[in-house]
Amino acid sequence: MKWTGKMYALGLVAAMFIGMVVAACFGAAPAPVSTAEAPAPAQQQDMRDIRIVVVSHGQASDPFWSVVKNGVDQAARDMRVQVEYQAPQTFDMVAMAQLIDAAVASKPDGLVVSIPDPDALGDSIRAAVEAGIPVISMNSGSDVAKELGVLNHVGQTEYEAGYGGGQRMAAAGATHALCVNQEVGNVALDLRCQGFADAMAEAGGTVEVLAVELADPVDAQQRIAAALTANPDVDSILTLGPTGAAPALAALEEAGLLGQIKLATFDLSPEVLEAIRDGNMLFAIDQQQYLQGYLPIVLLTLYKENLNTVANDVIMTGPGFVTQETAAQVIELSAAGTR
The answer on 300 and 253 residing in a single domain is no
**With bands split at pLDDT 50, 70 and 90, how would you rate the model's confidence at 339?**
confident
Q: How confident is the model at residue 155 (pLDDT cuts 50, 70, 90)?
A: very high
Are 235 and 279 members of one domain?
yes
Note whether 50 and 93 are same-domain residues. yes
pLDDT per residue as tens digits for the range 67-121:
999 999 999 999 999 999 999 998 899 999 999 999 999 999 999 999 999 999 9
Q: Is the per-residue pLDDT at 9 higher than 70?
A: no
pLDDT tens digits, one per residue of 325-336: 999 999 999 888
Residue 61: what pLDDT? 80
pLDDT of residue 40: 52
Helix and strand element counts for the chain (H, E)? 12, 12
CA distances from 180 to 165, 199, 230, 248 (A): 13, 16, 15, 9
**What confidence tens digit (pLDDT) does each residue in 44-71 have?**
558 999 999 999 998 878 888 999 999 9
Percentage of the chain modeled with pLDDT above 70: 87
pLDDT at 214: 80
| Domain assignment of residue 83, given as a range | 35-156+288-308
Same domain, 142 and 176: no
Instruction: Identify whether residues 197 and 207 lie together within a single domain.
Output: yes
The CATH number linked to 79 is: 3.40.50.2300
**188 and 86, same structural domain?**
no
Residue 30 forms part of a structural domain: no
Complete DSSP assignment for 158-224 = HHHHHHHHHHHHHHTT--EEEEEESSTT-HHHHHHHHHHHHHHHHTT-EEEEEE--TT-HHHHHHHH
**Statement: residue 122 has pLDDT above 60:** yes
Q: Is the pLDDT of residue 29 over 50?
A: no
Residue 78 placed within a domain: yes
Asked whether residue 31 carries a pLDDT value surpassing 70, the answer given is no
Considering the chain, what is the average pLDDT of its residues?
88
User: Is 14 part of a structural domain of the chain?
Assistant: no
Q: Are residues 137 and 169 in the same domain?
A: no
- Tell whether 1 is covered by a domain: no
